[in-house]
């Protein structure tokens, strides 16, 4: 981690039963020592009995030095500032969510550090005046930053920051959190053996393009179309229908707002279905609207290691021995 370290959350120590992220620092006879990544590298310890629900021959089967782990707090010594932890108590289904939280916190920390470097403001004061208040209000400071992209006046100005701090903050928010375009796509099967034939198919596909285009031109208020159409479309590439392999057709659009893109394609699907069935044709959805590609993710994101990978590595080591 670059810059000045600092705990990511307002409370100085985690509470019992909290899920936290640690980095394994050493493996000893009685257990595993680690540092709490989110709490300014606070020292922690995982007893051998808390490493796994299964019997293990060696600690190397379940973890290794420098590995990132999600663990649960079982005891907190506030005087010694020491934490006992459990790996076995963690529900595997929540690991991804906790790692996502960590990556969001790392992005916030990077922004705070950048402000510190450009203004020489104290990091602790920046957390106290920016990150912690936004976390209380929005659940996470990064969620507040994202809202500030569209509404600086209501989100950032109430914090009462100095002008140079606010300017540096917004500069970093726009630089690091600028929305990336995504491609939204779906696939439909359209056939017509009635007299209208190919002309009916062409008419239906054009109707789908037109419906999606009109949806994108219409401002949405609380999920409903506003009566005043907009001349601006927040798309990078227009809605397009392509032949995949007759009778399959792909409909796609590239834009910033993924949900609006999905809804636009759903509107196109309904228009195509309505048009082709009126002309005696048939229609089927082969792939629902979904995001195909997104902007790049930070290179330093933590990723979840699978147990299968570790088992494969252990088996390979045993075979070599």
Helices 258-278 and 197-217: crossing angle in degrees, nearest 10, is 150
Domain membership flag for residue 298: no
Question: Are residues 278 and 186 part of one domain?
Answer: yes
* C-alpha 2: how far from chain center: 22
Tell me the three state secondary structure of residue 150. coil
Residue span of the structural domain in which 164 resides: 96-177
Residue 296 has pLDDT above 70, yes or no: no
Question: Are residues 250 and 235 part of one domain?
Answer: yes
- Mean pLDDT, the chain, rounded, equals 87
Cα gap 259→274, rounded to integer Å: 23
Residue at token pair 């909290």:
18
Question: Are residues 187 and 288 part of one domain?
Answer: yes
Domain membership flag for residue 312: no
Write out pLDDT tens, residues 171-182. 999 999 987 788
For the purposes of burial, counting CB atoms within 10 Å of the CB of 142, is it exposed (0-12), middle (13-18) or buried (19 or more)?
buried
Question: Are residues 139 and 119 part of one domain?
Answer: yes
- pTM for this structure? 0.64
Write out pLDDT tens, residues 237-258. 789 999 998 899 999 999 888 8
Give the sign of the dihedral formed by CA 49, CA 51, CA 54, CA 60: negative
Question: Are residues 108 and 158 part of one domain?
Answer: yes
Domain membership flag for residue 305: no
Question: Are residues 191 and 169 part of one domain?
Answer: no
Tell me the three state secondary structure of residue 239. strand
Question: Are residues 106 and 85 part of one domain?
Answer: no
If you average pLDDT over residues 34-54, what whole number do you get? Answer: 95
Write out pLDDT tens, residues 89-140. 999 999 999 999 999 999 999 999 999 999 999 999 999 999 999 999 999 9
Cβ pair 35, 42 in contact under 8 A: yes
Tell me the three state secondary structure of residue 220. strand
Residue 207 has pLDDT above 50, yes or no: yes
Cα three-residue angle 62-65-69, rounded to 5 degrees = 55
Q: What is the percentage of the chain residues whose pLDDT exceeds 90? A: 74
Domain count, the chain: 3
Model confidence at 313, pLDDT cuts 50, 70, 90, reads very low
The CATH number that applies at residue 124 is 1.10.150.190
Domain membership flag for residue 308: no
Domain membership flag for residue 136: yes
Which among 90, 116, 135 is the end of a domain? 90
The CATH number that applies at residue 52 is 2.40.50.140
Domain membership flag for residue 9: yes
Domain membership flag for residue 315: no
């Amino acid at each position: 981690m670059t810059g000045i370290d600092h705990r990511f959350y307002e409370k100085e120590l985690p509470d019992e039963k909290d899920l936290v992220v640690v980095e394994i620092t050493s493996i000893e006879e009685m257990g595993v020592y680690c540092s709490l990544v989110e709490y300014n590298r606070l020292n922690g310890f995982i007893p051998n009995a808390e490493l796994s629900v299964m019997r293990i021959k060696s600690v190397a089967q379940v973890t290794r030095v420098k590995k990132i782990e999600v663990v649960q707090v079982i005891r907190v010594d506030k005087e010694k500032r020491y934490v006992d932890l459990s790996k076995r108590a963690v529900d595997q289904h929540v690991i991804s969510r906790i790692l996502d939280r960590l990556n969001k916190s790392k992005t916030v920390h990077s922004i705070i550090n950048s402000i510190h470097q450009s203004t020489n403001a104290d990091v602790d004061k920046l957390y106290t005046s920016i990150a912690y208040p936004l976390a209380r209000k929005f659940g996470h400071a990064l969620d507040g930053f994202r809202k500030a992209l569209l509404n600086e006046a209501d989100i950032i100005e109430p914090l009462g920051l100095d002008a140079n701090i606010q300017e540096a903050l917004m500069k970093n928010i726009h630089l690091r959190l600028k929305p990336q375009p995504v491609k939204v796509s779906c696939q439909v099967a359209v056939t017509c053996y009635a007299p209208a034939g190919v002309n009916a198919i062409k008419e239906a596909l054009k109707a789908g393009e037109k419906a999606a285009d009109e949806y994108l031109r219409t401002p949405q208020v609380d999920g409903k179309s506003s009566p005043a159409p907009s001349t601006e479309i927040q798309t990078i590439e227009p809605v397009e229908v392509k032949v995949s392999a007759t009778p399959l057709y792909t409909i796609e659009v590239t834009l910033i707002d993924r949900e609006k893109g999905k809804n636009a394609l759903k509107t196109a699907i309904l228009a195509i279905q309505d048009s082709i069935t009126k002309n005696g044709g048939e229609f089927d959805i082969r792939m629902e609207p979904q995001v195909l590609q997104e902007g790049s993710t930070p290179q330093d994101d933590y990723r979840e290691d699978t147990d299968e990978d570790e088992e494969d590595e252990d088996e390979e080591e045993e075979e070599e021995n």
